Structure 1
Amino acid sequence: MLFETIVAVFAERGYQACTTQEIARRSGVNEATLYRRFGDKAALVNQALTRALTGSPFTRLKITNDLVADLTLLVGAYADSVEQHGGAVLTLLTDMPRHPELREAMDVLTPNMRNAAQVIAAHQNQGRLSAGDPLRMVTTLLAPLMAAGLWHRAGYPALGSGEDPAHVVASFLEGHRLS
């Protein structure tokens, strides 16, 4: 419960405004207990994000011979991860340059993105997808969901409703499928 609360406050407010006082209030824990147990806010946030990102559906991607199934799983896993952890990933990506103390959590996110890029690379190597940097192609594939998440966070839920994974994959494949 504590780590879920930390991730939620972080996702809602960003690192700067994610206070131990708010975390303590929402989780029903004494703020002094947080400091005794974790040392400082950076350690607390890093540990919560590390746990969330390590157990994320995005860590369980597979590579098969079915391009559409693999990409649909990838998009669905990303959407499920966002659903479970709110905007924590987007917040981490935007806050990391200003708060290098979040590096520990970022170090957990990076392999997840590399795994997604490996799905793209495998299908490129099998001649199913066009050439290009696999990590950039993952970003292109996930861009509609990322944009929807940004709109939603900005208070425009009608613009941030996201898209069905099958539709996202079909749109991506219109420009990137080889066979």
Structure 2
Amino acid sequence: MDHQRWDDTQIAVLDACVTCAEEKGFAGLTTRRVAELAGVNEVTIFRRFGSKSGLINAAFEREAAAMSDAVGDYSADLRGDLRRMVTAVWDATGRRRAVLPAILSELATNAELRSAASHSVREMTRVTDIIAKYQQRGLLIDEPPLQAYAALVGPLVYLGIVSRLLPDPPELDGDAHVEKYLKGHAREEKS
């Protein structure tokens, strides 16, 4: 898949952006703190990303691209595609579990964040289109594709968020999760 290519400095700044958001939330994120965490001059951030908004946008773009790469495209292998969706969300939730509460709590009131989240919305739409293809093929029950996707990955996001509170976060058996999902969402085969 064709995505923005980031150089080492940009990667360090984007990682620092996420770390800063974990520490202070997006509203408390400052380019000065991001520069400090990344070990670069604040001017570098403005030169590379244009603004704080541009930086947050780039961080979301990178995460959406990583998700897209992990999920891949429709393959005509239902279990394989669902497994990749589950694994991608579980990995992203684990990797970003400290920042998810900030995203969820600030999304409604932070215009920069809502704008940047458009990358995630586009990726979610792409993934729900994959689910819709399986529905059209008659392999999954008819329901809104977004609802089907939420049923598949919603429990994983919840576990990812609450696992911050647990001494031993749960591990995922992706195959078992997909099979349980299919028990309620696969169309019954006609004999």
TM-score by length of 2: 0.78
Q: CA deviation at 1:58?
A: 5.4
Distance in 1 of aligned mates of 2:158 and 2:43: 38
1:145/1:25 Cα in 2 relative to 1: closer, same or farther (>3 Å)?
A: same
1:57/1:115 Cα in 2 relative to 1: closer, same or farther (>3 Å)?
A: closer
- CA deviation digits over 1:154-179, x for unaligned, max 9? x3253x42522212211211211113
Matches within 5 A, 1:81-160: 81-86=92-97, 88=99, 91-153=102-164, 155-158=165-168, 160=169
Match of 2:183 among 171, 174, 177: 174
Match of 1:163 among 145, 167, 172: 172
- CA deviation digits over 1:8-55, x for unaligned, max 9? 322454212323333122111233543465454222222222233224
Count of residues in Structure 1 that have an aligned counterpart in Structure 2 = 177
Distance in 1 of aligned mates of 2:111 and 2:89: 24
Q: Tell me which moved more, 74-83 or 105-114.
A: 74-83
Q: CA deviation at 1:79?
A: 2.3
1:148/1:12 Cα in 2 relative to 1: closer, same or farther (>3 Å)?
A: farther
Q: Tell me which moved more, 57-66 or 131-140.
A: 57-66
Distance in 2 of aligned mates of 1:12 and 1:157: 20
Query: The residue matched to 1:15 in structure 2 has which SS?
Result: coil
Structure 2's unaligned 5+ residue stretches are 1-11
Any conservation in 1 of the 2:134–2:140 contact (CA below 8 Å)? yes
Counterpart of 2:39, as a letter, is G
Any conservation in 2 of the 1:92–1:106 contact (CA below 8 Å)? no
Q: Tell me which moved more, 162-171 or 50-59.
A: 50-59
Any conservation in 2 of the 1:82–1:88 contact (CA below 8 Å)? no
Which position in structure 2 is the counterpart of 1:70?
81
- CA deviation digits over 1:91-129, x for unaligned, max 9? 434422110122332111111101111121111111111
Corresponding position: 1:79 with 2:95: no
Structure 1's unaligned 5+ residue stretches are none
Corresponding position: 1:54 with 2:58: no
RMSD: 2.5
